[in-house]
Amino acid sequence: MSLKIENVTIYTGRGDKLVESAIVIEDNKIIAVGEEAVERNAENTMDGHGKTILPGFFDMHIHLGMDGIADPFAQIATDSQATSAYRHQANGKKQLESGVTSVRNLGSKWHIDLAYRDAVAAGLVTGPTVYGSGQPIVMTGGHGYPLASEADGEDEIRKVARQTLKQGADVLKLMATGGVMTPGVDPGSPQLSENEMKTAVEEALHAGKTTASHAQGTIGIQNAVRAGITTIEHGIFLDDETIELMIKHGTVMVPTLAAPYYIVKNADSGAIPPHAVKKATHCYEAHKESFRKAVEAGVKIAAGTDAGTPFNLHGDFAKELELMHEGGMTVRAIISAATYDAASVLNVQNETGSLEKGKIADFIILSEDPEVSFAAFRAVDTVYKRGEIVYVN
Same domain, 8 and 82: no
Whether residue 140 sits in one domain with residue 42:
no
- Work out the average pLDDT over 145-157: 97
Q: Does residue 160 register a pLDDT over 90? A: yes
Place 321 in a pLDDT band, splitting at 50, 70 and 90. Answer: very high
Last residue of a domain, one of 325, 345, 365: 345
Residues 341 and 364 in one domain: no
Judgement on whether residues 40 and 119 belong to the same structural domain of the protein: no
Grouping H, G, I as helix, E, B as strand and the rest as coil, residue 253 is strand
Q: For residue 231, what pLDDT is reported? A: 98
The total domain count for the chain is 2
Mean pLDDT of all residues belonging to the chain: 96
Model confidence pLDDT, tens digit, residues 233-260: 999 999 999 999 999 999 999 999 999 9
Please write the tens of the pLDDT for every residue from 5-30.
Answer: 999 999 999 999 999 999 999 999 99
Tens-place pLDDT, residues 84-139: 999 999 999 999 999 999 999 999 999 999 999 999 999 999 999 999 999 999 99
Please state the pTM of the whole predicted model: 0.96
Residue 259 lies in domain: 57-345
How confident is the model at residue 188, as a pLDDT?
83
Q: 3-state SS of the chain: helix, strand, coil percent to 5?
A: 40, 25, 35
Instruction: Answer yes or no: are the C-beta atoms of 327 and 257 closer than 8 Å.
Output: yes
Q: What is the pLDDT of residue 279?
A: 86
pLDDT in tens, 194-232: 999 999 999 999 999 999 999 999 999 999 999 999 999
* 45 and 180 within one domain: no
Same domain (yes/no): 144, 51: no
Report in angstroms the alpha-carbon separations of 280 from 246, 306, 313, 324.
24, 14, 17, 18
Spatial separation of the C-alpha atoms in residues 4 and 25, rounded to whole Å:
7
| Residue 184 reports pLDDT greater than 90 | no
Do 218 and 264 share a structural domain? yes
Q: Kindly report the CATH number assigned to the domain that includes residue 7.
A: 2.30.40.10
339 and 207 in a common domain? yes
Whether 375 and 317 map to the same domain: the answer is no
Same domain for 308 and 198: yes
Q: What is the CATH number of the domain that holds 305?
A: 3.20.20.140
Same domain, 93 and 180: yes
Q: Are residues 211 and 358 in the same domain?
A: no
Please tell me the predicted confidence (pLDDT) of residue 185.
79
Say what the alpha-carbon torsion angle 362, 318, 343, 126 is, to the nearest 10 degrees.
-40
